[in-house]
């Protein structure tokens, strides 16, 4: 249910952004509101992305060793 609400809010923000895009250059208030809407949309997208992550897989990834790349690894092929 939360995912559905987030998707609905994102679509609503996109509609507002489209409407304000034409008036963005006309005034500072519109430009500021446009930028705020872009930020709010990005925050909502990040929340949706976090909801779609599987917490079990994320915990497993923390325990798996990561192969670190050393600076000398970049010069091996040269």
Distance between CA 2 and CA 73 in Å, rounded? 45
What does the alpha-carbon distance between residue 12 and residue 5 come to, in Å, rounded to a whole number?
A: 10
How would you class 45 by CB atoms within 10 Å of its CB: exposed for 0-12, middle for 13-18, buried for 19 or more? middle
Give the whole-angstrom CA distance, residue 76 versus residue 6.
47
Q: b vs e for 47-78, b when ≥16 Cβ sit within 10 Å of the residue's Cβ?
A: ebeeeeeeeeeeeeeeeeeeeeeeeeeeeeee
* Whole-number pLDDT of residue 18: 92
pLDDT digit of tens for each residue in the chain (78 aa)? 788 999 999 999 999 999 888 877 888 888 899 999 999 999 999 999 988 888 888 788 788 877 788 888 888 765
């Amino acid at each position: 249910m939360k995912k559905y609400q987030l998707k609905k809010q994102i679509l609503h923000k996109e509609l507002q952004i489209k409407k304000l895009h034409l008036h963005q250059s006309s005034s500072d208030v519109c430009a500021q509101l446009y930028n705020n809407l872009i930020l709010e949309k990005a925050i909502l997208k990040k929340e949706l992305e976090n909801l779609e992550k599987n917490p079990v897989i994320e915990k497993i990834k923390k325990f798996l060793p990561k192969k670190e790349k050393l600076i000398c690894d970049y010069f091996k092929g040269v």
